[in-house]
Amino acid sequence: MSEANLTNISELGEFGLIDELTKDIKTKNKSTVVGIGDDAAVLNYPEGKQILVSKDLLIEGVHFDMTFMPLKHLGYKSAVVNFSDMAAMNGKPKQMIVGLGVSSKFSLEALKEIYSGMKMACEKYGVDFVGGDTTSSTHGLFISVTVIGEANEKEVVYRSGAKPNDLLCVSGDLGGAYMGLLVLEREKRAFHANPKMQPELEGHDYILQRQLKPEARVDIVDALKKAKILPTSMIDISDGLASEVLHICKASNTGCVIDEEKIPIDQSTFEMAKKFKIVPTVAAMNGGEDYELLFTIDQNDYEKIKAIDEVSIVGYITDKAEGQRLITNDNQSFDIEAQGWDALKKNK
């Protein structure tokens, strides 16, 4: 589409823009009484349910790069990363509210593309889009997403429930999102050096999808419930396995042991890490943005967890005095240190 056919959002005004972005949104959850269209959404959760609330703020140039992030994927990802927080509490996302700060470089069509990704995520995960706000930005794009979810009152899982001898489990595989990011950044540098060069992305579909279009593991929440397993603690892996296991240990006042050879790494992730001369385990421990679940279970649930696909037992919880340790493939022991993403620290 040529720039001549794009609609400048200044032609619409705030309320005209909101109407354009939200005119086809419908609700589906019983807990949503009133969605978009009034001063506030109205929600009604049944007795016996706990309400979960999570919020993420995504800033252009900090959390995403418009050079290689398709707008629809950006909308999808901004929703899903919050849905993942619901899964990490052993719950389900139900409603979503979005705030956008947009600069004049974004057209109506561009914002519709972002919203189409959000709507796609809501449709897939059964979430109602119930409200939001838009405002102008002097620089770039800001996306603020708040997700409201629910969990059974007696089944909410916190980070603080792990105890010595619990098993440490991980869903899916790790490190792929980081490798996808490195490929995209490599191709960006190549493009800046030679704008006529075509990006070399063929054969990297899996790791690129892990970076650009992650999924929330609500399927693992369902599988655990079906198996009658209630995790003792849980967190989603947004900042790397090392960072997240340290969060659990701090909240639970425990130590842990992770076995390097048991960390799940996809073959494509492994091969790309080698090309970048990165130890695959380092990518898995510190890469982040995988949005898998890290959780602990009682040893008595060992046989049950073995029957669930895409779950790996990577270690166990220890007394605090034993520290947080990684046992390498050659049987050496190292302290686990969080080297993953931290938006408020200088990241090298």
pLDDT in tens, 275-326: 999 999 999 999 999 999 999 999 999 999 999 999 999 999 999 999 999 9
What mean pLDDT do residues 1-15 have? 60
Q: Is the pLDDT of residue 243 over 90?
A: yes
What is the pLDDT, as a whole number, of residue 18?
Answer: 60
- Domain shared by 74 and 198, yes or no: no
For residue 342, tell me if it sits in a domain.
no
- Domain shared by 148 and 173, yes or no: no
What is the pLDDT, as a whole number, of residue 1?
Answer: 46
For residue 340, tell me if it sits in a domain.
no
- Domain shared by 141 and 177, yes or no: no
In the sheet where 255-259 sits, what is the strand order? 233-236, 293-297, 167-171, 311-318, 255-259, 324-327, 333-335
- Domain shared by 190 and 75, yes or no: no
Least confident of 155-164, 273-282, 332-341: 332-341
Percent of the chain with pLDDT over 70: 89
pLDDT, tens digit, for every residue of 34-71? 666 666 678 888 888 899 999 999 999 888 998 899 99
pLDDT grade for 198, boundaries at 50, 70 and 90: confident
Q: How far, in Å, CA of 283 to CA of 329, rounded?
A: 16
Structural domain range at position 165 = 159-335
Q: Is the pLDDT of residue 197 over 50?
A: yes
What mean pLDDT do residues 225-238 have? 98
Q: Is the pLDDT of residue 340 over 70?
A: no
In single-letter form, the type of residue at position 220 comes to I
Burial of 170 (0-12, 13-18, 19+ CB in 10 A): buried
For residue 348, tell me if it sits in a domain.
no
CATH of the domain at 267: 3.90.650.10
Q: How far, in Å, CA of 6 to CA of 1, rounded?
A: 8
What is the pLDDT, as a whole number, of residue 14?
Answer: 57
Q: Are 20 and 12 in contact (CB under 8 A)?
A: yes
| Domain's final residue, options 122, 152, 182 | 152
Burial of 224 (0-12, 13-18, 19+ CB in 10 A): buried
Q: How far, in Å, CA of 73 to CA of 209, rounded?
A: 9
Pure H helices in the chain: 13-22, 71-88, 108-125, 176-193, 205-212, 218-226, 241-252, 267-275, 280-286, 302-306
Which comes out higher in pLDDT, residue 47 or 17?
47
For residue 341, tell me if it sits in a domain.
no
Q: Is the pLDDT of residue 2 over 90?
A: no
What mean pLDDT do residues 179-204 have? 86
- Domain shared by 127 and 187, yes or no: no
What is the pLDDT, as a whole number, of residue 41?
Answer: 72
- Domain shared by 21 and 101, yes or no: yes
For residue 343, tell me if it sits in a domain.
no
For residue 240, tell me if it sits in a domain.
yes
Phi then psi dihedrals of residue 197, to 5 deg: -75, 135
pLDDT mean across residues, the chain: 90
pLDDT, tens digit, for every residue of 65-119? 988 999 999 999 999 999 999 999 999 999 999 999 988 888 889 899 999 999 9
Give the count of beta carbons closer than 10 Å to the beta carbon of residue 60: 19
- Domain shared by 89 and 182, yes or no: no
- Domain shared by 148 and 164, yes or no: no
What is the pLDDT, as a whole number, of residue 344?
Answer: 45
- Domain shared by 128 and 193, yes or no: no
pLDDT grade for 192, boundaries at 50, 70 and 90: confident
For residue 346, tell me if it sits in a domain.
no
For residue 69, tell me if it sits in a domain.
yes
What is the pLDDT, as a whole number, of residue 22?
Answer: 64
CATH of the domain at 94: 3.30.1330.10
| Domain's final residue, options 152, 178, 203 | 152
- Domain shared by 147 and 292, yes or no: no
Q: Domain count for the chain, please give it.
A: 2
Two structure tokens written together for 80: 């899903």
- Domain shared by 133 and 267, yes or no: no
| Domain's final residue, options 152, 186, 203 | 152
Two structure tokens written together for 126: 């059964």
Q: Is the pLDDT of residue 245 over 50?
A: yes
What is the pLDDT, as a whole number, of residue 348?
Answer: 44
- Domain shared by 182 and 145, yes or no: no
Q: Indicate yes or no: pTM above 0.85.
A: yes
